[in-house]
Amino acid sequence: MSQRPDRHGNWTPSPALLAGDRRVLARTISQIEHGQIAAGSLSAALAPHLGRAHVLGITGAPGAGKSTLLHAMLGELLARGRRIGVVAIDPSSPISGGAVLGDRVRMGQHGAHPDVFIRSLAARGHLGGLSSSTEEIVDLLDAAGFDTIIVETVGAGQSEVEIMRVADTRIVACPPGLGDKVQAMKAGILEIADLLVVTKSDLPGADATARDLQDMLHLRAPATGGLWTVPVLNSCANSGAGVADLVDAIDRHAAVAGRGRRLPARPVAKTASVAEDAQSLVLRLAAADPFARSLGITCTEASAGCATVTLTLAQRHLNFNGTCHGGVIFALADTAFGLASNSHGKVAAGIDAHLTYQKAAQAGDCLLARAFEVSRSRKLAVYRVDVSRADGAVISSFTGTVYITGVTVAVPAQPAVQETM
């Protein structure tokens, strides 16, 4: 078993660990807790295996109902086929280095499930350094193949905010009846919440607490650059009410905010991955465009602000004079225009287009339309599209303007049914 550091202090993950072996996991976590693995060597060795898991953070005052809610969420996540790792941090526990008994008991039923791994960390009265070992344990669970990793921590200051930084989706649990305490939360953890949950919604005052939280949300900066509206949800862990809605909202947030927020950005790959993102977005948009597909238009090249589409003219593309229908030329140019202008990931609404016809095209001609960005400001962008024959003859030129909305481009999961024309 190669989970011990070698004599040079290098640590490598064993195959058993990467396969999620519980005993190896438990032993490695103990080594992390006892500082037996050199700082940094674990994360470096795990780097190729990281970034797949969705990491949730749950925080809130002691007794807010976090552990009970977490248990209810485990049931829901298991029903959705997930493997879940849990790291529970309780700084108030007097039990050193081991389980926090109450949390074990509250997560007991699902804690024994083969697809759940729970580890409690006691902070022995202080939280210093805990955020870094929490991050290492999260990395370990990610590498071990857990789909969802949940970190539970008590929300009472800067240390918890630090711990919550490892999470992709941060949930703040607020029981009813906090009154002025809700106000006090504003300065700290409420600022980092992606979802707010009023726990114990069976108790009186839950609706008023939800309203207070909603009011306070207006005071904070938008989450995830304005792409996400922080919802205020209700849950009753005892009856299970609201738990499925909470898991739905968590999944929606994962889709918007992504995974692996804690991992270092890879600056070298950044420009390449941006270009690649634009390309894959455009190709997927093209594949999901039923009208373009029905005409036989395919996208052959794309990058941020540019797109090339092609079409080989058939009988069905001709007009009554036996040459290419002007509508087909327009459709070709407009398809390239639409793809190029949406390639940045924000919905671009066409507001103006102008087209000149230079030469007639015939059946059998292979046409190319190349769109590129002429100018782009915050709200408007202008594109030019050159339509040419494969031999270089210019068929048409097109210019179009778009209004750039704040809405993120969503590629339909299933391309619409192809129409026949």
Closest approach, Cβ 310 to Mg ion, in A, equals 59
Number of residues near ligand GDP (by CB under 6 A): 17
In 3D space, the residue among 111, 109, 140 whose CA is nearest the CA of residue 33 turns out to be 140
Examine residue 64 and tell whether it contacts ligand GDP (CB under 6 A).
yes
| DSSP string across 336-404 | HHHHHHHTTSEEEEEEEEEEEE-S---TTPEEEEEEEEEEE-SSEEEEEEEEEETTS-EEEEEEEEEEE
> Nearer Cβ to Mg ion, position 139 or 152?
152
Q: Which is nearer to ligand GDP, 213 or 236 (CB)?
A: 236
Q: Per rule CB under 6 A, is residue 242 in the interface with ligand GDP?
A: no
- Contact of 395 with 370, CB cutoff 8 Å: no
**68 interacts with Mg ion by CB under 5 A:** no
Tell me which of 237, 283, 369, 395 binds ligand GDP, using CB under 6 A.
Answer: 237
Query: Considering only 65-73, 159-167, 178-186, 211-219, which stretch makes contact with Mg ion by CB under 5 A?
Result: 65-73
- Tokens 């129409």 found at: 419
Judged by CB, which is closer to ligand GDP: 173, or 332?
173
Q: Is 153 in the site for Mg ion (CB under 5 A)?
A: no
Cα(49)–Cα(161) distance, integer angstroms = 26
With CB under 6 A as the contact rule, the residue among 83, 110, 119, 200 that binds ligand GDP is 200
301 binds ligand GDP (CB under 6 A): no
**DSSP 3-state assignment of 263?**
coil
Place of tokens 């344990």: 137
At CA 322, angle to CA 321 and CA 327, rounded to 5? 85
168 and 55 Cβ atoms separated by less than 8 Å? yes
Segment contacting Mg ion by CB under 5 A, of 15-23, 95-103, 225-233, 352-360:
95-103
Name the one range near Mg ion by CB under 5 A: 41-49, 97-105, 215-223, 361-369. 97-105
Quick one: which of 106, 119, 317, 370 contacts ligand GDP (CB under 6 A)?
Answer: 106
Q: How many helices (H) and strands (E) does the chain have?
A: 14, 13
* Contact between 59 and 272 (Cβ < 8 Å): no
Secondary element (H or E) of residue 216: helix 206-217
Counting contacts by CB under 5 A, is residue 148 touching Mg ion? Answer: no
Report the alpha-carbon distance of residue 320 to residue 221 in Å, rounded.
59
186-218 as b/e, with b when 16 or more CB fall inside 10 Å?
eebbbebbbbbbbbbbeeebbeebbebbeebbe
Identity of the residue, 241 or 275, whose beta carbon is nearer to ligand GDP in the bound complex = 241
Q: Which of 28, 43, 59, 67 binds Mg ion (CB under 5 A)?
A: 67
**Residue reference for tokens 């969705």:** 54
| Residue 279 makes contact with Mg ion by CB under 5 A | no
Q: Is 102 near ligand GDP (CB under 6 A)?
A: yes
If binding is defined by CB under 5 A, does position 234 make contact with Mg ion?
Answer: no
Q: Report, in Å, the least distance between residue 92 CB and ligand GDP.
A: 9
Which of 103, 334 has the CB closer to Mg ion? 103
Pick the piece of the chain touching Mg ion (CB under 5 A) from 45-53, 100-108, 137-145, 392-400: 100-108
Question: Rule CB under 6 A: is residue 60 a binding residue for ligand GDP?
Answer: yes
Binding region for ligand GDP (CB under 6 A): 60, 62-68, 102, 106, 199-200, 202-203, 236-238
